Amino acid sequence: MNLGSILVTILVGAIIGALGRLVVRGRQRIGIIVTILVGIAAAFIGTWLATLLGVNDTPGVDWIELFIQIGVAAVLVLLVVSLTGRRSVV
């Protein structure tokens, strides 16, 4: 794993984590580092689930896989917020 792939992983994790936070209703008081970590974990888990379901073998952008990753990120955001007890619903 080189520096470029590490940076891409962090960038994709930040995007997936941010989209997962947008799906969850209310305000989540978690930091950017936690959001990135949630996004990275969701990207890996979502890719694994898409592979199991056989839906990530499409040409071009794998939209179904992306939606699975965002859904996993939303679930992980809810999990982190509930475990930290710092939830504030608006």
Is position 2 within any domain? no
90 in a structural domain: no
Total domains in the chain come to 1
First to last CA, the chain: 41
pTM: predicted TM-score of the whole model, two decimal places: 0.84
Q: What tokens were used for 45?
A: 């888990």
Q: Which domain holds residue 25?
A: 12-85
Instruction: Note whether residue 75 is domain-resident.
Output: yes
3 domain residue, yes or no = no
List the beta strands (DSSP E) in the chain. Answer: 27-28, 87-88
Encode pLDDT of 28-73 as tens digits.
888 889 999 999 999 999 988 988 998 877 788 888 988 999 999 9
Rg (CA), the chain: 14
Contacts of 34 (CB under 8 A, 6+ apart): 80
User: Is 7 contained in some domain?
Assistant: no
Question: Burial letters for 66-78: b for 16+ Cβ neighbours within 10 Å, e otherwise?
Answer: bebbbbbbbbbbb
| Residue 48 within a domain | yes
